[in-house]
Amino acid sequence: MLVIDISGIKVFAHHGVLPEEIERGQEFLIDAQMTLVEGAADTDDLDATVDYAGVAEALSGIATSTRYNLLETLAGELVAYLLGLDGVQEASVTVKKPGAPLPVEADWVGVTARRRNTPAHD
């Protein structure tokens, strides 16, 4: 099993339901993990695997191009993108909101979406 991890992608966006979150925006952190299909590491060729630089850029673009009320929706969109990549068998994305308005002190609030590609049946 081959797993690619990308941790701490920083984006500034306007996700949330409170008026001040929508108006001012805030920083979000994105962690992604992709389990690749067998054979992705059989050659030393970038075309045989997933280009993590391109993935990081795409995740950032998705997170900043559309406004979401819920982190759950954003995480679902991001993991769906990963599962659409050739060679990705399963994926997990965590979206963290360090500035979440909470009644207690916390480092961040996050939502994780995990999904797996199901094999096609003949």
- The string of pLDDT tens digits covering residues 5-36 is 999 999 999 999 999 889 999 999 999 999 99
Predicted TM-score of the model (pTM): 0.91
Domain with 29, as residue range(s), is 6-98
Please give the pLDDT value at position 122. 55
In the predicted model, residues of the chain with pLDDT beneath 50 are: none
Per DSSP, helices labelled H in 4-121 are 19-24, 52-65, 71-83
Per DSSP, helices labelled H in the chain are 19-24, 52-65, 71-83
Q: What is the CATH number of the domain that holds 18?
A: 3.30.1130.10
From CA 75, how far away is CA 95, in angstroms rounded? 6
* Assigned domain for 50 exists: yes
Do residues 112 and 100 lie in contact, with contact meaning Cβ atoms separated by under 8 Å? no
Number of domains in the chain: 1
Q: Is 12 exposed, middle or buried (0-12, 13-18, 19+ CB in 10 A)?
A: exposed
